[in-house]
Structure formats: structure tokens, C-alpha cells
Amino acid sequence: MDKIGIKKYIRTITDFPHKGIMFRDVTTLFSDPNGFDLTIKGMLSSVENTNIDKVVGIEARGFILGGALANKLHCGFVPIRKSGKLPGSVISQDYELEYGQDTLEIHLESIGPGERVLLIDDLLATGGTAEAGVKLIEKLGGNIVSCNFIVNLPDLGGSKKLANLGLSTHFLCSFSGT
């Protein structure tokens, strides 16, 4: 699947970060003005008639997308970062990665109860990172309108995980395999 013709901008690096992994590198997409423009327009199309209060981007490529989308939607941007990176009061959520465990954090005051949230990241694989982001947003009382990604790796089950949580998800393209 490639809804808007962006696969040609995404580089695949074999055996990174571990042997057997086909890493889908979106930095080549970001560095091309046409590719980046297509990406932002494609991600906006799924929420263009939706009232969004906050765009939440997951570290680090979600920051690039999230900032651009928040600007276009005229709403706030909230970063979700790895443990120890945010100053001030935070809440935390542990999660499983494809190859380990980690913790994400969000500022305690960043999302108010009932605020409508768009969760953004570059890629959905097993869904562990996205699920942790969802849990953080929900702990703060935010209502997730949609979870949007550039790339879906459906064979790794993340899209099914988010669907089982009752979340609306949107992807611009999918790649088979790992």
C-alpha cells in the first residue's frame, strides 16, 4: 500500500539495528521537500474536518511530523520523550520494544481532561511505543481522535494492537516483513 506515492522517498537499510531487520528510514523522506510536503498533506487529510486540540509526537521523528501538523492545524504540540529528557513534573509509562524495554514520559500539565488529541509517529511496528503513548494521553484525560503514522509494518501486529484498543489509525504506506 502507498496511498500518496511516498514509498519512493523512504530508504530501506538492511540489518539495522540488528541482523534480520529491514529498517525503513524516513529521514530521506524528510530531506526531500516534495516528499515532506506529500507526507504532511497526507497526514492532514485524515483529520482535516476534525477539531484537534493537541498533536502529540513521539520522540524523535514524531517531533518533526507533530510540529508541522500542529502548525497547520493551529493547535498545540506536545512531545512524548524517553525517560529523563523532560524537565518538570512528568508521568511515565514502561513499554516493550521489538528488541528490549524502555520508558516514555509526558509533562503532567500538557493535556487537559477532554482535550482531543492526534497521536503522531513515523512508523508502527509492534505497537509497543504507540500503546505507551496512548496510555500516557489517557492518564491525563485526553481523548485520542486518531493515531497517524507514515509507515505501517502490518506483519509485526501493531496496527491490530491499536485496533483492538478501539483506536482509529491512519497510515500513508505499508511494507511487508520486518
Instruction: Work out the burial of residue 20: count CB atoms within 10 Å of its CB; fewer than 13 is exposed, 13-18 middle, 19 or more buried.
Output: exposed
Q: Check whether 98 has a pLDDT greater than 80.
A: no
First to last CA, the chain: 15
Percent of the chain with pLDDT over 90: 90
**Spatial contact of 128 and 96, defined as CB atoms under 8 Å apart:** yes
Q: Which of 11, 48, 59, 61 is catalytic?
A: 61
pLDDT at 97: 74
What are the chain's domains? 7-174 (3.40.50.2020)
Q: Determine the Cα–Cα distance for residues 135 and 2; give it in Å rounded to an integer.
A: 29
Residue 105 catalytic?
Answer: no
Say whether 59 is catalytic: no
Distance CA 89, CA 111 (A): 13
Strands (E), the chain: 11-14, 22-25, 54-58, 76-82, 90-97, 100-107, 116-124, 143-152, 169-174
User: Model confidence over 112-142: pLDDT tens digits?
Assistant: 999 999 999 999 999 999 999 999 999 999 9
Taking each helix axis from N to C terminus, what angle separates 61-73 and 33-45, rounded to the nearest 10 degrees?
60
- Give 27-61 pLDDT, tens digit per residue: 999 999 999 999 999 999 999 889 999 999 999 99
What pLDDT is recorded for position 17? 86
> Using CA atoms, how far apart are residues 29 and 130, in angstroms rounded to an integer?
21
Angle 108-110-114 (CA atoms, 0-180°, nearest 5)? 100
- Give the pLDDT confidence of 142-161 residue by residue, as tens digits: 999 999 999 999 999 999 99
Mean pLDDT for the stretch of residues 95-121: 92
**Would you say residue 99 has pLDDT above 90?**
no
- Cα separation of 39 and 4, whole Å? 8
Choose the catalytic residue: 96, 98, 116, 138.
Answer: 98
Does 12 score more than 70 pLDDT?
Answer: yes
Read off the pLDDT of each residue in 15-30 and give the average, rounded to a whole number: 93
